[in-house]
Amino acid sequence: MDVVSIIAIIGTVASIGGAVVAVWQAKRSTSAANEARLVRAQLIGHRQASELTQLHIVCKKAQKSMEKYGPGSVPANLHGISPEKDAQDVQEFLLLIKENRLHFGNQFPNEADDFCDKLAPILNSFAQAKKPNDLRQHGTQILLHLSNMTSITKKYLDGKREQVF
């Protein structure tokens, strides 16, 4: 065997070894990329769950503000309350749900859009009401819509929690 043959054999072995290392590195790289995609998806899921949690909390706050106008209320008990502040709590929720409407699906309109479209005119009537009976009537309607939306936000929140964890 001459020197050229020995160099060729060493070069061939080195090439084969390099190919094996390259395949091994490619597999590690693919595994790392898949793990990075999984972590990214989990982070997005956590963010979405956090946003839905915030929506749910604000919805419950608006619902609590409107409970005093519910079906069990007595018009005489509605004196001395602050309908303006209560309407602001509901308005805050409407703005927040519009901002986060994509959590309820990509289609238009979705459940968030339907909710806002139904609630906005009732809220407007509530804000303009001066008589206790009118406050009670519009407040009860708002309370019922908020109760429905609470269950909808809870459904989406539970779905996100199941995906994330």
Q: Give the pLDDT score at 142.
A: 92
The pLDDT score that the predictor gives to residue 119 is: 92
Asked if 115 and 149 touch (Cβ cutoff 8 Å), the reply is yes
What is the structure's pLDDT at 76?
60
Fold for the domain defined by 47-164 = Four Helix Bundle (Hemerythrin (Met), subunit A) (1.20.120)
**pTM given for the model:** 0.68
Tokens of 51: 């946003």
Give pLDDT, residue 75. Answer: 59
Report how far residue 49's alpha carbon sits from residue 30's, in angstroms, rounded to the nearest whole number: 28
Domain ranges (residues) in the chain:
47-164
Tell me the average confidence (pLDDT) per consecutive run of 10 residues in the chain, 165 residues long: 81 84 86 86 82 88 85 65 86 89 81 89 88 86 90 82 60
pLDDT of residue 129: 83
Tokens of 31: 């595994």
The burial of 82, by beta-carbon neighbours within 10 Å (0-12 exposed, 13-18 middle, 19 or more buried), is given as exposed
Give me the pLDDT at residue 146, please: 92
- Residue 122 has a pLDDT of 93
